[in-house]
Amino acid sequence: MISAFFTGFFLGLSLIVAIGAQNTFVLRQGISGQHIFYVALFCALSDALLISIGIVGISFFLNNLVTQISDWLFGISALWLAGYGFIRISSVFKSDKALEIEISSTKSLLTTLSIVSVLTFANPHVYLDTMFLIGSISQQFIGEKKLAFALGASIASFVFFFSLAYGAKLLAKKMKSPSSWRILDCLIAFIMFIIAFKLIIAGNWI
């Protein structure tokens, strides 16, 4: 069960750690000190909700189908994760990558949450990653192990977004260095390759 928890935790962390529009917005809020707690909580809860829907939905509605094609499903998920890993490896050689954030003017809490909701739910990748990919990978676990996997993936979102929001000022300084991005990309790639390898074994491909 502990293994399932950490598989979910590191998978969830790896999928959300890359800096995109949503994460940049969280960083901006952290640096400016505006509505930090509520923004981090909204992002974490949104991820946890989508992860839960993905795991429960695939388990409930597609249970028989997933059982029949589980080996292929794990194989496709492994290729998907390996693809992410190779993208991160290729980013290591982009020496000009750095984090740039513009601090916006103060906005109301409602306006801020409206913006972050659009950045969260209008991004198609969030559904592919949280609902389909994590939901599919969860099928290698049953019972309490599946619950532990879901809990690990959800907790990863809380850890990430609150660390990002409250550590924004320190992180923003560090991530202006291209070498910091190389280290981060290598770490993400390593985690994804490890999980992809476990999926290959679970799918009886080797």
Task: Reply yes or no on whether the pLDDT at 43 is more than 80.
Answer: yes
For 61, half-sphere exposure in the C-beta direction (CA atoms, 13 angstrom radius) is 9
Residue 158's pLDDT band (cuts 50, 70, 90): very high
Calculate the average pLDDT of the chain: 79
Contact between residue 165 and residue 36 where contact means Cβ atoms under 8 Å apart: yes
196 and 85 Cβ atoms separated by less than 8 Å? yes
Residue 68: pLDDT over 70: no
Q: Residue 96's pLDDT is what?
A: 61
Is residue 157 scored above 80 in pLDDT?
A: yes
Task: Write down the pLDDT at residue 59.
Answer: 58
Q: What is the mean pLDDT of residues 136-154?
A: 88
Query: Looking at residue 152, what is its pLDDT?
Result: 95
Residue 177 pLDDT greater than 80, yes or no: no
Which pLDDT score, from 0 to 100, does residue 130 have? 80
Per-residue pLDDT tens over the stretch 83-94: 877 877 887 776
DSSP 140: G
